Amino acid sequence: MSQFGHLKKMEVKGGSTAEFKMHALEGTPVLTVKPAMESNKAYFNASLKASRSNMRSIRNGNVTAGLLDETRETDRELYGKHVVAGWHNVLDSAGKPVQFTRDVAVDFLEALPNWLFDELREFCGTPSNFIADDVVDTESTAKNSKSD
């Protein structure tokens, strides 16, 4: 066994989930989410497939606001299908609770303002959100990032 085997516990596992609280919305919806990264094979493969058409533009440095919008819109669908795994406190326009389904999740994500969906994307793309608190020493991590 490697002398660095202890680092394996910091890998994000495919079945990992975390809760994303949406304080800006009425009722503070809580989404149960999977990582939006390589460990979530279904999302990662769908994302790679969807991005093929944009690869040439990105390689050539042609990243535009339109391309970023297109990527965000693709992610709304992919998150509904592969990242959001459940929820509670999600309310409809009449203030009634909405039961989670994949189709309704896509509708919900499409209705979110860009800034709020982008917060969700950032959360789901951050590995430390999917690793147990006792594995990541957040105090040391914060000190290290301040000294950089």
pLDDT in tens, the chain (148 residues): 578 877 777 788 878 899 999 999 999 999 999 999 999 999 999 988 887 666 555 556 666 666 677 888 889 999 999 999 999 999 999 999 999 999 999 999 999 999 999 999 999 999 999 987 655 554 554 554 454 4
d(CA 15, CA 39): 8
Contact 71, 125 (CB under 8 A): no
Question: What's the confidence (pLDDT) of residue 61?
Answer: 63
Q: What does the domain layout of the chain look like in residue ranges?
A: 15-134
d(CA 33, CA 117): 13
Contact 14, 40 (CB under 8 A): yes
d(CA 19, CA 21): 6
